[in-house]
Structure 1
Amino acid sequence: MPLRLRACQALSSVDPAAWDALDHGGSPFLEHGFLRALERSRSIGARSGWDPHYILAEWVGDEVAAVPDAAATADTLVGAVACFVKHHSYGEYIFDFPWARAAARGGVEYYPKLVIAAPVTPASGPRILLQREGTAGPPRELVARALVERVRELADELGCSSIHWLFCTAQEQALLAELEFSPRASFQYHWHDQGYPDFEAFLARLTSRKRKSIRKERARAQAAVDTIEWVGGAELDRDDLAAIDRFYRNTTDNHGGQDYLRPGFFQALVELAPERVAWARARKGDALVAGALYLETDRALYGRYWGCDASIELLHFELAYYVGIERCIGRGMPLFEAGAQGEHKLLRGFEPSPTYSSHWIRHLGLREAVERFLAEERGAIERYLVELAALGPYRAEE
C-alpha cells in the first residue's frame, strides 16, 4: 500500500516545513511552531496531562512514481493528526466532566481518554491535517479515513476509554459521523468582517445605543492610559515577554483559572513562530500596565491571553476586543475569534457562531447515555441561539 502510517511522540522529529505545508485551514494552533513551543516549555508532555502522539501519513517513495505527473518526493508527508492521551479534562473547553462523573458512578473507567485538539486552546480548525487541494498525492478523503482508523487503533493500544475531536471543522464532523462518532453542537462568539473600510463603518451597522456605548467605553479606556500600541512577535524584548508571562499568570490567579502554559512558553513561541504573534500593550508613563496577546494568520485573528498588573476599568474591552476588530479591518482578516464563552461579546459586535466536536465512547451503556444527552443539548442550544438573535447589537436590515 503506498500510504504508510507511523507515530511519534515529539514534533522535533518531524520536518517543520513538511508539517506546515499541510492544510491548517488558516489556524496557527496546530502549526509546528505553536506545538513545539508547548513541548519545549513542557506545557504538554511531562506531567501536564497532555501526552502527545502524532500520527503521520506518508506517501511512500516507490509508489510515487506510479502517480502520473506526481511532484511528490519519496516518503512525502500527506497527512497528520495530533492526538493527546489525557488523564483529566482540563484545558479542553468542550466540557465532558458530567460524562466522567456518570462513568464513575457506573464503575466505568473514563481516563485515560484520547483527545484530538489544539492543547489548551478553544479555537476551531482542521484536526485532520491533509495536503492542500491540488497537491500531487493520494486522495485527501482516503488519507483522512486512514488517519481516523489509525486513531482508533491508537486508542485501543493505549487503553483509552473514548476519542474526542474538539473544535474540528463542520466537514470533519460530517466525515466522523459516517465513521460512528457522535456529533456535538456548541458555539462561540466570533466577529466577522463585512468589508468595513474602518471601525466607524463597523459601528454604523450597530444600533444607535450600542454605537454610543462602545464609543464611551473606548474613550474611557484610552483616557486611563498613556499609550496603546501593537508590537509584532519579532520585536518583543525581554521586558515585554516578562510582562506577557506575568499578565497571563495574574489573570489565571485572579479568576480561579489554571496556568496551563508553563514558564518559557511565550519565549519559545516568539522564537519559533514570531510571524504569528502580535501583542497589544498599554502603558502609563514608562510602565507596562496591561496587554492582550494575539495569534494571527492571513485568514483570522485569535485573541488569546489578556492580563494586567492593576485593574483599569474597560481596558480589557479595548485591548481584547476593539483594537482586535480594528486590526482585522486594517489587515483584511475576515474572522476574529476572541476565545471561549462570554455573552458580553454579543453586545460588542461578536455573533454566535457554531463550533463542532465529535465523540466516540467505548462502553456501550455510557455511549448511549451520552448520545441522549447530546440530542437534548442540541435542542437547547438551538433554542438559546434563537433568543440570542434578538439581543444582538446590529440594526435590522432595511
Structure 2
Amino acid sequence: MDALTIEAAGGLEAVAKAEWDALANPGWSVGPLGKPTRLHDGAGAGAFNPFVSHDFLKCLEDAGCVGGRSGWRPRHILIRDAGGALIAAAPAYLKAHSQGEYVFDYGWADAYERAGGQYYPKVQVSVPFTPAQGPRLLVGDTDVKNRRSILARALVALAEQTGASSVHVTFTEPADYEALTGADYLARHDTQFHWENRGYATFDDFLAALASRKRKQVKRERRDALATGIKIRWLTGADITEAHWDAFYDFYTETGSRKWGRPYLNRNFFSLLGERVGASVCLMLAERDGRPIAGALNLIGSETLFGRYWGCVEEHPFLHFEVCYYQAIDFAIEHGLVRVEAGAQGEHKLARGYEASQTRSAHYLLHPGLRDAVAHYLENERRAVEHQNEVLNSYAPFRKDGRAPQDP
C-alpha cells in the first residue's frame, strides 16, 4: 500500500482511454466507433461490457448528464503503482440524491435523516442510469484479488474523507460481489428478467421450447404488432444518422413525460454515443409508411444484448413486446449472444420467455446503527428475493414434457 498512489478523479479526462479500457475490458481492444476486438482468450479475458468503457462513461460526462448540477459528481478511483501505471480503477460518483440507480435506498435515507443523520452525499459505484450487470472494480487480469481488496478499502476511505454516509456498488458481477462482501460490505439481491440462449439457431427453435399455449400467444403478438404494415429495422454503427437519433430522442422524452419523470439523458448524449460507441449500439426502429414511430436502444456486449430505452409516438397493440423483447431475441440468436438483459422490472417479460434472474449489489454504511438496521433488513430481503424468483420461474412458459411441439 505504501508504494501506491490513490486518486479520486473529477472526470475521465484524468485517465487515458487505453489505460482505463485495459482494466475495464481486459483482453479487448476498443477501436473507432467503440468497436471491440478480442486480443486473446487467456486468463482474465472475460466478456466485453460496453457500459464500463472509457468512451461510454465519457459520453455521459461530456454531454453534461453527470457532473454540474446533476447530483452525480464524478470521483473515479484511480490506483497507480510506484512507476505510475494504472493498476485498478472504479467508476465512482459522489451523489446528492438516489435517482437514476435502480437499486432503491430511499427508505434507508429517510430513516437515517429522521434519526438526525445526513445520508447525502453518498458514494455510488455504478454506470449512471444503467441497471445492467457488469464489472465495477476494474482490475485488469493481473493480481486481481489483491487489487479488488484495495479498491474496496479505497472506496470506504473516499466516503470517510468526503463526509459521505455510505458506499453503494450496484449491479456487480460475482467476482466483485465476493470481494466486497468479503470486505464487510452488506449483500443485497434483486430481480431482473433475462432471456437465455439455450443453443437456439432460429427464433422458431426458441418457440419450440415453449408450451403450446404460450407459443401460440407469442406468434399472435408478433403477427398483430406488425399488422398495420409496420417494418422493423436494426441499425448499428455508422448506419445510425442524426435523423435517427432525432426520432429516437422524441421517443425517449415522450416515454419520460408519460411516467411523470425528467429524462436523465439529453439529446447531445445520443450524438456522442453514436460517434464514439456506435459499433456497440443496436437501434431498433419501427417504421410505418417510411416514418419512425417507435424504437428501442440496445447496447451489444460480446455475450449479452443489453436493452435500455424504449419509446413511441404511435400506440399499436403488442408493438412494445415486438420491438423490445422479440426483436432482441432475434438479434441475440442471429449474432450468437448468450443472453438478453431487458432492463429493470417487468414481470410481464416472464410470459415472453424471459426468466427471473438474481442481481447483486454491495453496500457499506459507516454509521454502526444504520449499518445494523440495514443488515437486518437485507437478510430478510435476500430470502424474500430468492423465494420470489423460485415462484416466478415456476410460471416460466417453457415446455415441461420435453416432447416436440405438435401445433403449427
When the two structures are superposed, what TM-score results if normalisation uses the length of structure 1?
0.93
Q: What residue in structure 1 maps to residue 39 of structure 2?
A: none
1:176 corresponds, among 180, 187, 202, to 180
Task: Kindly indicate whether residue 135 of structure 2 is the aligned counterpart of residue 126 of structure 1.
Answer: yes
Identity of aligned residues (%): 39
Q: What residue in structure 2 maps to residue 387 of structure 1?
A: 391
Which ranges of 4 or more aligned residues in structure 1 deviate by more than 4 Å? none
Q: What residue in structure 1 maps to residue 54 of structure 2?
A: 32
Contact 2:156 2:364 in 1 (8 A): no
Q: What residue in structure 2 maps to residue 280 of structure 1?
A: 284
Any idea what the Cα deviations from partners look like across 1:111-134, whole Å, max 9, x if unmatched?
1111101101000111101113xx
Matches within 5 A, 1:268-347: 268-347=272-351
User: Aligned in 2, Cα 1:8/1:285: closer, same or farther, shift over 3 Å?
Assistant: same
Q: What residue in structure 1 maps to residue 193 of structure 2?
A: 189
Task: Kindly indicate whether residue 69 of structure 2 is the aligned counterpart of residue 47 of structure 1.
Answer: yes
Contact 1:225 1:284 in 2 (8 A): yes
Q: What residue in structure 2 maps to residue 79 of structure 1?
A: 88
Instruction: Give 3-state SS (helix, strand or coil) of 1:239's partner.
Output: helix
Instruction: Give 3-state SS (helix, strand or coil) of 1:103's partner.
Output: helix
Matches within 5 A, 1:217-256: 217-256=221-260
For 1:161 and 1:5, the matched residues in 2 are separated by 20
Any idea what the Cα deviations from partners look like across 1:347-389, whole Å, max 9, x if unmatched?
1011111100011111111111111110111121122122212
Which residue type is aligned with residue 384 of structure 1? Answer: Q
Contact 1:225 1:282 in 2 (8 A): no
Q: What residue in structure 2 maps to residue 67 of structure 1?
A: none
For 2:147 and 2:7, the matched residues in 1 are separated by 13
Contact 1:122 1:167 in 2 (8 A): yes
Task: Kindly indicate whether residue 271 of structure 2 is the aligned counterpart of residue 259 of structure 1.
Answer: no
Instruction: Give 3-state SS (helix, strand or coil) of 2:261's partner.
Output: coil
Q: What residue in structure 2 maps to residue 14 of structure 1?
A: 15
What are structure 1's unaligned runs of at least 5 residues?
62-74
Deviation at 1:23, TM superposition (A): 3.8
Deviation at 1:2, TM superposition (A): 4.7
Contact 1:221 1:314 in 2 (8 A): yes
- CA RMSD in angstroms, aligned pairs only: 1.4
For 1:23 and 1:234, the matched residues in 2 are separated by 25
Deviation at 1:173, TM superposition (A): 1.6
When the two structures are superposed, what TM-score results if normalisation uses the length of structure 2?
0.90
Instruction: Give 3-state SS (helix, strand or coil) of 2:267's partner.
Output: coil
For 2:130 and 2:59, the matched residues in 1 are separated by 14
Which residue type is aligned with residue 102 of structure 1? Answer: A
Deviation at 1:145, TM superposition (A): 1.3
For 1:101 and 1:111, the matched residues in 2 are separated by 11
Instruction: Give 3-state SS (helix, strand or coil) of 2:305's partner.
Output: strand
Which residue type is aligned with residue 106 of structure 1? Answer: A
For 2:79 and 2:284, the matched residues in 1 are separated by 39
For 2:399 and 2:68, the matched residues in 1 are separated by 51
Any idea what the Cα deviations from partners look like across 1:311-354, whole Å, max 9, x if unmatched?
12111111101011011001011121010000001110111111
For 2:208 and 2:12, the matched residues in 1 are separated by 47
Instruction: Give 3-state SS (helix, strand or coil) of 2:344's partner.
Output: coil
Which residue type is aligned with residue 20 of structure 1? Answer: D
Contact 2:89 2:138 in 1 (8 A): yes
Contact 2:24 2:52 in 1 (8 A): no
1:93 corresponds, among 102, 113, 117, to 102
Contact 2:296 2:324 in 1 (8 A): yes
Deviation at 1:7, TM superposition (A): 2.7
Contact 1:233 1:279 in 2 (8 A): no
Instruction: Give 3-state SS (helix, strand or coil) of 1:188's partner.
Output: strand
For 2:228 and 2:375, the matched residues in 1 are separated by 50
